[in-house]
Amino acid sequence: MQATQSPFHLLAKPAGAACNLGCKYCFFLSKENLYAERESPLMDDAVLDAYLRGLVQSSPGAQVNVAWQGGEPMLRGLDFYRRAVGLAEKHRQPHQRILHTMQTNGTLIDDEWAAFFRQHDFLVGLSIDGPREMHDAYRIDKQGAGSFDDVVRGWNLLRRHGVDTNVLCTLHAANQDHPLEVYRFFRDELQARYIQLIPIVERATEQTISFANGGWGGNRGKDRPLYRQEGSLVTDRTVSADAFGRFLVAVFDEWIRRDVGRVFVTTFDVALGSWLGEHTSCVVSPTCGDALAMEHNGDVYSCDHYIEPGYKLGNVKDTPLRALVDSEQQRRFGNAKSDTLPRYCKECPVQFACYGECPRNRFIDTPDGEPGLNYLCAGYKAFFQHIDAPMKAMARLVREGGFAEDIMLEKL
């Protein structure tokens, strides 16, 4: 019965890997290689209907999350989303509420789009990497020009129309050493209240490192190899583990003094969940497998980070979505996170806070030579050890029926 079904999250890519930008670190641009050159990357209405019908029927809770991502999902056009909203309502069961979310680079937002988002209560995540110089280092258009002005214009339109928003900031070589400048830009200049910090880790092999260092965007499409989660090398743009940890520590120290309950940083919210014994993100859970992705043609993959041939589960036009989510292949994928955890991690005092983090980043060796350590381990470990005392205090406040923001009234 539906009540016994486990929850899952599915990212749908209505324009596939197509994007109007050519961000240097965006290896997802290479996923176009999975499909024939003559094939349109735009989701058709048959796939849209199969997706929404399957999602509604498979969702166990009262809220159904319809998540749009890319590439750039706005390339699919406003009329497509008007049809999507209508179809979701058509398939919705009486006890269900539909929440549409979209992750966008923001450059195509105009008043009509912003009004539509507000009318239908979309939650819109906007990708921006900090102040102009840091953002434009890698987030460029096809001709190599920075996208900062267009992104900020889009952000201002969303705010003017009262759209629910959050900021997604990737951490990389260009901004990793400027944590407070980045955080204060979001908090004070953009007045963002919800912030995601995502580390850029671009893996490469001896064969792909030269191309990867040159960037995945621009006009290099015909030469792009398919990005796979393989290799122990990383690009020059990749955030370093130590810098990643320092960035999180610096932002946390600013946040804990004045912004708890006012600014919500996903990394800190997820960490508090770990200190409370709850795992609110697959990244820090003992196992994974409940965050899947669907390409424009209905192909479903085990994870957004594993859109490559070995991780394709099937197609929503041929197989019920719930069957793909519950498949033995997906179960093995999810359990592998725990099954392959090195002994070094199992004996770590902060294992409970990350459980080895995402498998895509587990490609270096432990100090004693065992494979499977997370590339970001040193940074995470320094961060988790640094926040242990305030996290314990906030967890205590929550367990006692108080509020996490009361931590700002205590002396740590």
Question: How far is the C-alpha of 119 from the C-alpha of 28, rounded, in Å?
Answer: 31
Question: How far is the C-alpha of 118 from the C-alpha of 115, rounded, in Å?
Answer: 5
> Do 197 and 267 meet the contact criterion of CB atoms below 8 Å apart?
yes
The answer to whether residue 49 is catalytic is: no
Which residue shows structure tokens 């899952």? 8
Q: Is 297 exposed, middle or buried (0-12, 13-18, 19+ CB in 10 A)?
A: buried
Nearest CA to 251 among 410, 407, 387, 392?
A: 387
Per-residue DSSP letters for 185-209?
Answer: IIIIIS--SEEEEEE---EE-TTTH
Nearest CA to 16 among 1, 30, 2?
A: 30
Question: How far is the C-alpha of 248 from the C-alpha of 252, rounded, in Å?
Answer: 6
Nearest CA to 231 among 255, 212, 256, 218?
A: 212
Per-residue burial over 313-336, b = 16 or more CB atoms within 10 Å of its CB, e = otherwise? bbbbeebebbebbebeebeebbee
Per-residue DSSP letters for 276-303?
Answer: TT---SGGGSSS---EEEE-TTSEEES-
Structure-token pair, residue 123: 């939650």
Cis bond before residue 71 (omega within 30° of 0)? yes
Annotated catalytic residue within 136, 150, 259, 304: 304
- How far, CA to CA in Å, does 156 sit from each of 35, 52, 94, 114, 228? 36, 31, 35, 10, 36
Question: How far is the C-alpha of 55 from the C-alpha of 48, rounded, in Å?
Answer: 10
Q: Within 13 Å and on the Cβ side, how many CA atoms surround 28?
A: 21
> Do 280 and 270 meet the contact criterion of CB atoms below 8 Å apart?
yes
Residues marked as catalytic: 304
